[in-house]
Amino acid sequence: MKTIKGPALFLAQFAGDDAPFDTWDGITKWAADCGYEGVQVPSWDARLIDLAQAAESKGYCEDWAGKARENGVAVTELSTHLQGQLVAVHPAYDEAFDGFAANEVRGNPAARQAWAVDQVEKGIRASANLGLTALPTFSGALAWPYIYPWPQRPAGLVEAAFDELAKRWRPLLDLADAHGVNLCYEIHPGEDLHDGVSYEMFLERVDNHARAMMLYDPSHYVLQCLDYVAHLDTYAERIGGFHVKDAEFNPTAKQGVYGGFQSWVNRAGRFRSLGDGQVDFGAIFSKLAAMDFDGWAVVEWECALKHPEDGAREGAQFVRDHIIRVTPRAFDDFADGGTDDAANRRMLGLDR
């Protein structure tokens, strides 16, 4: 068994234009002061990283990661969530997702997709230069507008969407393999890979590619009413990343999973700061320890109520309290009487 590394913090929700959140030096010092040992970095945020340089220069990566280490935190992973989203965008979402892309490709879906692919490629190369083995990302979505089958979906529609999704991602998975990096798709509503079944549909189309891993975030399963603990048993060999995020689902007579177009604070399903929701993290950390998860416990703060800085500070201690330092020996070793093959055969009555 292995002890999970952590706590770490995903910086995407904290990067901003005010100190200490506006510079790499400032935000890493702040994260360490909050009690974190690692940070997951949004690769699209130029205030924190120059992705193009990181993809080309090991020297840049050594200096950049070294600054974080000097400030008390390790770089756990880069993230290409926003760029991965743009690898596959249904036209219904073109305008909404344009804001994720560079200014020069907005309004041009083909150019935007090419830019997104290039960004993910840079994320893979930068991860390799940093000695990282996991790259969290989103899959994007072509079939998502048809998630509820009304009107009836035409035969072959979903299959065609997943065929195309796999076609777009296969070269990226092969590049990741060449660089020793796992692409960890966050299983997330809004993505075509939003649950186990849809993940398997994709996996089948990329020939069970060894680099097509999962980023496990139980909050997204709570809001879908999925069994997030049994999910770990089912996909133990495919869990390559872990977001520690809480959630609650409290259906009413008026509202359920779909939320009635309400704001997050008024939805039946809400993200919460760690310890304020319904996720059984004791069971999750136990499962991950037993299955030899060799990664980081990364807090992703999203809460409809609590201030982010409070959620971050509380989250570091919450994870620290839940990480299980695995035992190096069996609890009943004290009663070991010693044995050998001959003794085993006598105990089984095989030499009579």
What does the pLDDT average to over 287-305? 96
Question: Could you tell me which residue, 241 or 340, shows the higher pLDDT?
Answer: 241
**Of 185, 214, 217, 226, whose CA–CA distance to 281 is shortest?**
217
**Of 63, 79, 71, whose CA–CA distance to 28 is shortest?**
71
pLDDT of residue 311: 98
pLDDT of residue 352: 75
Name the band, by pLDDT with cuts 50, 70 and 90, for residue 339: confident
Confirm if 299 and 31 have CB atoms less than 8 A apart. Answer: no
pLDDT tens per residue, range 134-172: 999 999 999 999 999 999 999 999 999 999 999 999 999
pLDDT tens per residue, range 17-51: 999 999 999 999 999 999 999 999 999 999 999 99
* Domain 5-347 class, CATH top level: alpha beta
What gap in Å lies between CA 3 and CA 17, rounded to an integer?
Answer: 36
DSSP 325: -
Name the band, by pLDDT with cuts 50, 70 and 90, for residue 334: low
Confirm if 219 and 277 have CB atoms less than 8 A apart. Answer: yes
Name the band, by pLDDT with cuts 50, 70 and 90, for residue 221: very high
pLDDT of residue 66: 98
pLDDT tens per residue, range 83-131: 999 999 999 999 999 999 999 999 999 999 999 999 999 999 999 999 9
Q: What is the mean pLDDT of the chain?
A: 96
For the record, the structure tokens of 69 come out as 């280490």
Say what the alpha-carbon torsion angle 93, 96, 98, 99 is, to the nearest 10 degrees. -150
Environment class of residue 296 by beta-carbon count within 10 Å: exposed (0-12), middle (13-18) or buried (19+)?
buried
The alpha-carbon radius of gyration of the chain (Å, integer) is: 22
Confirm if 222 and 279 have CB atoms less than 8 A apart. Answer: yes
What does the pLDDT average to over 171-193? 98
pLDDT of residue 335: 65
pLDDT of residue 93: 97
